[in-house]
Amino acid sequence: MLRGHLQPAMADDFLLKPNPTDARLSARVQGRDQTGAAVDISVVVERPLTLFLNGREIVTMMTIGDYPQYLAVGYLLNQNMLAADDEIVGVEFDAETETVVVRTKRVTDYEEKLKKKTLTSGCAQGTAFGDLMERFETVTLPTDAKLKTSWLYRLMRKINTAPSLYLEAGAIHGCVLCQGDRPLVYMEDVGRHNAVDKIAGWMFLEKSDPADKIFYTTGRLTSEMVIKTVRMGIPILVSRSGFTAWGVDLARKANLTLIGRARGARFVTLAGEGRIEYDADARAVAEEDAAARRKGARDDE
Amino acid sequence: MLRGHLQPAMADDFLLKPNPTDARLSARVQGRDQTGAAVDISVVVERPLTLFLNGREIVTMMTIGDYPQYLAVGYLLNQNMLAADDEIVGVEFDAETETVVVRTKRVTDYEEKLKKKTLTSGCAQGTAFGDLMERFETVTLPTDAKLKTSWLYRLMRKINTAPSLYLEAGAIHGCVLCQGDRPLVYMEDVGRHNAVDKIAGWMFLEKSDPADKIFYTTGRLTSEMVIKTVRMGIPILVSRSGFTAWGVDLARKANLTLIGRARGARFVTLAGEGRIEYDADARAVAEEDAAARRKGARDDE
């Protein structure tokens, strides 16, 4: 094949995606099936990662362990321990001690945040130090952002067929930052909050503009998932899973386009539907999807 | 029908189960489908619940709001803020202020716990104040507990067909405390940690013996889910979803029977398989399951 042939396809490639062949991310485990026969299956590995901000210990996270720098920066951003205008002068990961150190130019005010706590529901983020809603109400999402339904179907197909730890071992969440019909950055982790934080960290360090992005996630569209998407400045949020009432309320207040139950040809939009352009033939997608299922696509967990 | 006919069936009934007809637990929301047509769907409601222990504010949780007393007591137990021998002298819920107050005879030592924090992965529990592993290593699970595969198949069928918020609105986790082939207590919530805590609270207040119980949960078998089950003293843990490597390690250390990927006739056991008695015909279950699917059973999320 000529290299020239690959060029148009290259523009469609992920910038970052899971590496299911990385031996550190999963383990083979022996067990028994329903008849008592021996089986050997692949399971994801969790490991501790201790985060320091300017020399002070903040938290120990359990993570699959890839992209620790993005996870660290995204965690601090989403906990309001870093501000959008904070300048990061270094992010150092040490694999042996399982630590990551983030250094900023300005002294940070995270100690105030540690005094307050809210235990939140859903998988999005276990605990928020500080006020989760902080800055939420000050965000204005771009109204001229668009989502064509043909993009949505192409995104779903690319994401669902990309090699991933989910396909390899299951029991994992995935989040994908997309632009148009292109999935850019695909992050996985045992806790969804970690996958979200890795994308937030990537966007901050790469100075990625959120205004033309689409955020795809596994798992439910809870209030917290909505708050994080809005705070990242991304105008469109999509999931295969369902909604919670408070998530819908907040999405409507923020004018976030909120799409759930996106499976095969079907999806439901409960907020910000003005950004959607219905250009795809849902019936054709349904037929294509049925054909793919017959080839043995896996169910979501 | 004669009342006498119902008696044997009554012994099979849940003691406590979701009430999907409770209007406070879900809301109807208008939206658009994939063609742009108007749709009207049911979504679960999250509401805040602020927990006090002996007059001191501990945390604000987001919950669907049913069984606040069990949630409060279970939360305190699972955070090590209550000990097994603590005597609870009152649990008061006030719907108007959305608060619940737990009062104990002895002064509690939770303030020490607030000093430490671990952010954990997965949906099980966002944050643990204090050492999650505390007491884990001191638990000895009963080795004479049994799980017949015929019980497991009957439990799954009863749980999957019980009216629930999951069937009504989706986007929710469920946990079920079972005994033999009988599901006793079925709790749901947006965050799985809340559903687990409600069952822990029920067991504590009802003085339920864990030794002959089976814990069924939606969602992944993470380290945290394993730790909580062991700390509750329950010897068998079952999920439709998959495993994480650390969850498997901990289950093996504690001799917990760990069963995952339980769907239709299939399941995988990765720890404590000595408690399983293979008395069912998996092939017959597979056929029955296929017939049920044709009748339109819903996929898990």
A31, A46, A122 ranked by CB distance to B245: nearest: A46
**pLDDT recorded at residue A127:** 42
Topology classification of domain A47-134: Ubiquitin-like (UB roll) (3.10.20)
Mind listing the pLDDT tens digit for each residue in B33-45?
999 999 999 999 9
| CB burial readout A206-221, b (16+ within 10 A) else e | eebebebbbbbbbbbb
CB pairs under 8 A between A and B: 213
Check B248 against A222: CB less than 8 A apart: no
Report whether B173 contacts B18 (CB < 8 A): no
H/E segment holding residue B41: strand B38-44
The residue to which tokens 């020239």 are assigned? A4
Rounded Cα–Cα distance for residues A61 and A127 (Å): 12
User: Hey, how many other C-beta atoms are within 10 angstroms of the C-beta on A119?
Assistant: 24
Topology of the domain comprising B147-294: Cytidine Deaminase; domain 2 (3.40.140)
Fold exhibited by the domain B47-133:
Ubiquitin-like (UB roll) (3.10.20)
pTM of the full structure: 0.83
CA distance linking residue B63 with residue B173, whole number of Å: 11
Q: What is the pLDDT of residues B158-168, one digit of tens each?
A: 999 999 988 88
Render pLDDT for B219-262 as a digit per residue (tens, 0 to 9).
999 988 999 999 999 999 999 999 999 999 999 999 999 999 99
Nearest of B130, B260, B23 to residue A43 by alpha carbon = B260
Share the mean pLDDT of chain B.
85
| pLDDT above 70 (res B2) | no
C-alpha distances out from residue A157 to A161, A165, B274, Å: 6, 17, 42
Return the SS3 of B39: strand
Residue of B nearest to A267 (CA): B34
Residue B83 has a pLDDT of 85
Distance, CA of B17 to CA of B35 (rounded, Å): 37
The residue ranking higher by pLDDT, A106 or B209, is B209
Same fold? A47-134, A147-294: no
Instruction: State the ipTM, two decimals.
Output: 0.81
- Residue A3 dihedral angles phi and psi, to the nearest 5°: -60, -35
User: Residue B230 is encoded by which pair of tokens?
Assistant: 């062991």
Give residue B287's pLDDT: 74
Q: How far is CA B173 from CA A169, B64, B122, in A?
A: 21, 11, 13
Q: Which residues of B touch A122 (CB under 8 A)?
A: 62, 123, 190-191
Residue of A nearest to B272 (CA): A31
End-to-end CA, chain A: 38
Query: Do B192 and B229 touch, CB atoms closer than 8 A?
Result: no
Q: Is the dihedral of CA B284, B174, B164, A272 positive or negative?
A: negative
Helix or strand or coil: residue B189?
Answer: strand
The DSSP call for residue B277 is E
- The phi and psi torsions of A44 (rounded to 5 degrees) equal -75, 150
Judge whether A251 and A136 are in contact, CB under 8 Å: no
CB A110 within 8 A of CB A53: yes
Preferred mutation among A24, A33, A46 to probe B, highest tally of B CBs within 10 A: A46
Give the model confidence (pLDDT) of B103-153 as tens digits.
Answer: 999 876 665 555 444 444 433 333 443 456 667 778 899 999 999 999 999
- Tell me the shortest Cα–Cα distance from B267 to chain A, in angstroms: 5
Q: Are strands A257-263 and A266-271 parallel, antiparallel or unpaired?
A: antiparallel
Q: Do A268 and B125 touch (CB under 8 A)?
A: no
Q: Is a pLDDT exceeding 80 seen at residue B54?
A: yes
3-state helix, strand, coil split of chain B in percent (to 5) is 30, 30, 35
Judge: B31–A268 Cβ closer than 8 Å, yes or no: yes
Model confidence band, residue B281 (pLDDT cutoffs 50, 70, 90): confident
Cβ contact, residue pair B32, A269, below 8 Å:
yes
* pLDDT over 70 percentage in chain B: 83
Contacts of B147 in chain A (CB under 8 A): none
Q: What is the mean pLDDT of residues B37-63?
A: 92
Tokens 């945040």, residue?
Answer: A113
Measured between beta carbons, the chain A residues lying within 8 angstroms of B149 are 34
> What pLDDT digit, counting tens, does each position of B9-34 carry?
455 689 999 898 898 899 999 999 99
Domain ranges of chain A: 47-134, 147-294
Number of Cβ within 10 Å of residue A136's Cβ equals: 16
Across the interface, of B39, B127, B267, the residue whose CB is closest to A268 is B39
The C-alpha atoms of residue B293 and residue B43 are separated, in whole angstroms, by 24
For chain A, which ranges sit under pLDDT 50?
1-9, 115-130, 295-301
Task: Please give the structure tokens belonging to residue A102.
Answer: 């983030």
Q: What is the pLDDT of residue B118?
A: 42
> Could you count the other beta carbons within 10 Å of the beta carbon of residue A283?
10
Of B43, B59, B121, Cβ closest to residue A244: B43
